[in-house]
Structure 1
C-alpha cells in the first residue's frame, strides 16, 4: 500500500516515508491509496484479541511489511509497558446504555498517550535502523505536548520542540510539559491560542527548504500514524462493549461519542468504520468552540471567535484533520479538495449543501456542549454513579444524552483523567484524590521559554535548538 496527499500533488510514498514526511509537501494530508476492508470473519477473529495483539493486526494492514513482525511486536510492547491498566484502554459500564472507554491510563493520563507512546518508540526505531535525524516539531492544546515529550525524552538521535498557548492550558498540562529538563526537549510558550501555534507549525512544515534542512518530523495528528494508532481503540471498544452486552449484543446498535476538537480522534473512528467496523453513530462532542457542530448542522465550515473553556484541549477553531474527512466526502477528488482549501484560505469559510450536506449528516452527529452543561454533568455522574468525568469526557456524555436512542448503546470516550483539570472540578465543590504522578508535579522546577506569537521568533529558537545534532546508523 502506498500513501498519497489529499491535494494530489505528492508522488505515492511508502509507510515509513509517509510518517517521516508528516504534512504532505503540497500542503495536504497523507492518506492511504485504498483503505483496507476487514471482513465479518476477520472481525470475529479479532474480537478476542488483547489490545496489543489487535494493534499489531490493524497496523500490519497499513505498514506494507516495512517493519518486521518481531520488531513491530517489540515496539508495541515497549509502547504500552508503562500503562497502568493491563487492558491499556478498558471499558466500564455506567448504565444500560452508556459505557466509558477509558483512554487515560498512559503516563500522562490522556488519550494522546495511546498513539504518542508508540510514535516515540517508532521514531527511535527509524532513527536507529535508517540513520535518520529526527527533529520533532509539534503544537499542543495541552495533552499532545506532554504525551509526545514523555514518548521521546532522553532518546538518542531525537530532539523535540513543542509549542503551547501561554496560560491557555490547565496547570497540570503545563507542568507535565515544562517540568521535563532533558536536553532533547524544548518547550515554547506562545502568547496566543492553539490555532496560532498550529498555524506556525503548518507554515514551517510547508517551507520545504527549512523542513529538509532541519529534518522536521510531525507529532501532531497531521501525521497519519497518529490516526492509525487511535483507530485501534475503536475496534477494541466495540468488541468490549459487545462482550459486556452478552446475549443482547445482536439486538443493540453501538454508537461512539468522542470529544474531538482537531477532528483527529473522530476521523480515526471514521477510518475504522470505512474499514468495516459496524459502528452505528459517529458522534462528535465539542465545546463552545463549536466549528465542527456548525459544520455538521449547517454545512458551513468557518472558524469563529476563540473561546476559553473548561475543556481547553478542544479550544480549537481550525480543525486540521477536517481536510481528510473532506477528501472522502468529495469521493477522493483531490482537485476539488484543493479548490475547497484554497477557498478556505482566501475567504475564511467553505460551505457544502444539498446531497453533500445530507451525506455529512448521515455520517456524523455533533454537539457543542456549554461550559455549565459540562459542569452539571460532572456533578450528576459523580452523584448517580460515583464516576468522576473530566470536562472533555463530560462533553462526550452530553452528546451521548442528546443522540442515544432506543435500541442503541454508546461508548463515550474518556479522553483524560479528571485530575488534569482540577480547576474545573473544584468549581462544583468536588475534591478529588490526585494520582501520585500528578501530585508530585507542583514541587518540580519548570523549564520553558515564553515567546511572542511570531513565526520568526519560533524559527530562531528552533535553529538554535537543533544546531549541530547528528546521528549514526546502528
Structure 2
C-alpha cells in the first residue's frame, strides 16, 4: 500500500513515511493510492472479532511496512488504556436506534481512539529510525487533551498544542493544562480554533522550519487518525446488526466539525461497509450543512455553542472528500483549494451537488435545540447525551424512519460539558474518576497572540 497527496506532487509514500510527514509537502492531505475493497464474505468473517483483533484486520489492509506482531502490540497497548474491555460499548434504544459510545479512553472523548494509537505508532516508527520529533497540533478541545495523553512522557517526542484561550470547556482545559510532563507544552492563542488551525497549517507549509525542528502532525490531517477511526464504523455496525444474518444498509449519524470523523465513515463505505448514507450533524456553525444541503461552502463568523468541539468553520479534512468528488483529479482539486484560499468560499451545483447528497444528509442543531434534545432523550431513556451527540440524535430525528437502522456516534462523556447538562436536565452527570482526579490541580500554559511568528518563536526558544 502506497500513499499520495491530494494535490498530486507527493506520491509513493510508505505508511510510516505518511505518518511522519503528516501534511504533505505540497500542502495537500495524504491518502491511500487506492481504497481497499472488502467483499461480503470477508465482512462476515470480521463480524464477531473483538475490537483489538478487528483493528488489526482493518488496519492490515492499509499497512504493509510494519510487521503484524509489532502492529498487534501497538494496537493492544493503545486500547488497554480504555475503561472497558470492549473498547466501544454499543447501546440499543429499542428497535432500530443504537448509540456507539466512542468516548471510553483516557480523556473520555472519541479522539482517544486515534491518538492513543498514534502516540504508540510514532514511538515505534521513531525508535525504528533512530529519530526525534516535535508534535504540533491545534484543538477546539478534545483533540488537544487526547493528544497530550497519547504522547505525554514519550521518549524523544515533544508536543506543542494550541487551543483558543477561554473557548474550550473547563474540563477540556484542565485535561490539557494539568499535565506536567516535561515534553508537554500548552499554548493558549488569543483567537478562535480556526486561528489556531491556520497557524499550525502555515507553520507546516514552511518546509524549512518544519524540517529544521522535525515537526510532526497529530491533527486529523494525519492519515493514521482517519485510519484508526475507520475501525469503529465496522465495529459499531457489527454490534448493531448482530441479530441479522444478512448485511443490511444502515445510517450513521456523526457530529463533526473538522470532517475527519465522518470522512472515516466515507472510507468505510467505499471499502464495502453497507452504509446507506452518512448523516452529518453540525451545530450553529453550519458550514458543512450548507455545503451538503445547498452547495455553499463559504465562511462565516464562528459562534460559541454548547458543543465547542464543533465550533469550526474551516473543515480541514474536507479536502480529502473533495479529491474523490472531483474523481481523484489533483489538478482540479488544487485549483479549487487555491480558489477557496483566495475567496474563502466554494460553490457546488448540478451533478456535483447530487453526488454530495448521494453520500450525505446534514442537519444543523441550534443551542436551544441541543438542550431540548438532551432533556427529551433523558426523560425518554434515562440516558444523558453530551451536547455533540445531542446534535447527532437531533439529526436522526429529522430523517428517521422505522424501516432502517440508525447508529449515532457518541463522541464525548457528558461530564465534560457539565454546564450544558445542568441547564438541560437540572442535574450533574456523574464524573468519571479520571476527571475527578484533575480538579484543583495547577494549570500550566502560555498565552500567545494570534500570530504565526509568535508561535514559531515559542517553539524555537523552547527547543533551544
Normalised by the length of structure 1, the TM-score is 0.96
Matched, 1:156 2:152: no
Q: Secondary structure of the residue that 2:76 maps to in structure 1?
A: helix
- 1:329 and 1:284 map into 2 onto residues whose CA distance is 17
Matched, 1:273 2:269: yes
- 1:197 and 1:251 map into 2 onto residues whose CA distance is 42
Higher alpha-carbon deviation: 418-427 or 194-203: 418-427
Deviations along 1:410-467, one digit per CA (max 9) or x if unpaired, are: 1100000000000111112122221121122221000000111111110111112223
Give yes or no for contact 2:22–2:217 (8 Å, CA) kept in 1. yes
Q: CA deviation at 1:12?
A: 2.1
Give yes or no for contact 2:280–2:363 (8 Å, CA) kept in 1. yes
- 2:167 and 2:78 map into 1 onto residues whose CA distance is 29
Q: Secondary structure of the residue that 1:149 maps to in structure 2?
A: helix
Aligned to 1:472: none
Matched, 1:241 2:237: no
Give yes or no for contact 2:204–2:215 (8 Å, CA) kept in 1. yes
Matched, 1:63 2:60: no
Deviations along 1:254-301, one digit per CA (max 9) or x if unpaired, are: 110001100000000000000000111201011000000000011111
Aligned to 1:452: 449
Q: CA deviation at 1:250?
A: 4.6
Runs of at least 5 residues in structure 1 that lack an aligned partner in the other structure: 468-474
Aligned to 2:47: 47
Matched, 1:221 2:220: yes
Q: Secondary structure of the residue that 2:93 maps to in structure 1?
A: strand
Q: CA deviation at 1:252?
A: 5.3
Give yes or no for contact 1:259–1:415 (8 Å, CA) kept in 2. yes
Structure 1 residues 192-341: aligned runs within 5 Å: 192-243=191-242, 246-247=243-244, 250=246, 253-341=249-337
Deviations along 1:207-241, one digit per CA (max 9) or x if unpaired, are: 10000000000000000000000000000011110
- 2:257 and 2:332 map into 1 onto residues whose CA distance is 24
Matched, 1:174 2:170: no
- 1:343 and 1:127 map into 2 onto residues whose CA distance is 37
Aligned to 1:408: 404
Aligned to 1:470: none
- 1:41 and 1:431 map into 2 onto residues whose CA distance is 46
Q: Secondary structure of the residue that 2:257 maps to in structure 1?
A: coil
Give yes or no for contact 2:253–2:281 (8 Å, CA) kept in 1. yes
Q: Secondary structure of the residue that 2:28 maps to in structure 1?
A: coil
Normalised by the length of structure 2, the TM-score is 0.98
Give yes or no for contact 1:368–1:395 (8 Å, CA) kept in 2. yes
Aligned to 2:133: 134
Deviations along 1:295-318, one digit per CA (max 9) or x if unpaired, are: 001111111111000000000000
Matched, 1:20 2:20: yes
- 2:81 and 2:335 map into 1 onto residues whose CA distance is 44
Aligned to 1:109: 108
Aligned to 2:343: 347
1:433 to 414, 430, 433: 430
- 1:11 and 1:412 map into 2 onto residues whose CA distance is 35
Deviations along 1:331-365, one digit per CA (max 9) or x if unpaired, are: 00000000110110111111111011111111111
Matched, 1:464 2:461: yes
Give yes or no for contact 2:97–2:405 (8 Å, CA) kept in 1. yes
Give yes or no for contact 1:253–1:407 (8 Å, CA) kept in 2. no
- 1:12 and 1:405 map into 2 onto residues whose CA distance is 45
Give yes or no for contact 2:247–2:274 (8 Å, CA) kept in 1. no
Q: Secondary structure of the residue that 2:437 maps to in structure 1?
A: helix
Deviations along 1:43-82, one digit per CA (max 9) or x if unpaired, are: 0100011110010111111112x11111111111100111
Deviations along 1:66-116, one digit per CA (max 9) or x if unpaired, are: 111111111111001110111101100013121000011100000000000
Q: Secondary structure of the residue that 1:389 maps to in structure 2?
A: coil
- 1:335 and 1:405 map into 2 onto residues whose CA distance is 41
Matched, 1:371 2:367: yes
Q: Secondary structure of the residue that 2:98 maps to in structure 1?
A: strand
Q: Secondary structure of the residue that 2:324 maps to in structure 1?
A: helix
Aligned-pair Cα RMSD in Å: 1.0
Give yes or no for contact 1:252–1:407 (8 Å, CA) kept in 2. no
- 2:226 and 2:96 map into 1 onto residues whose CA distance is 27
Give yes or no for contact 1:261–1:315 (8 Å, CA) kept in 2. yes
Give yes or no for contact 1:135–1:466 (8 Å, CA) kept in 2. no
Aligned to 1:393: 389
Deviations along 1:114-167, one digit per CA (max 9) or x if unpaired, are: 000000001111121111211100000000000000011011111000000000
Runs of at least 5 residues in structure 2 that lack an aligned partner in the other structure: none
Give yes or no for contact 2:19–2:122 (8 Å, CA) kept in 1. no
Higher alpha-carbon deviation: 195-204 or 92-101: 92-101
Deviations along 1:399-419, one digit per CA (max 9) or x if unpaired, are: 111122231121100000000
Q: Secondary structure of the residue that 1:148 maps to in structure 2?
A: helix
Q: Secondary structure of the residue that 2:112 maps to in structure 1?
A: helix
- 1:120 and 1:332 map into 2 onto residues whose CA distance is 30
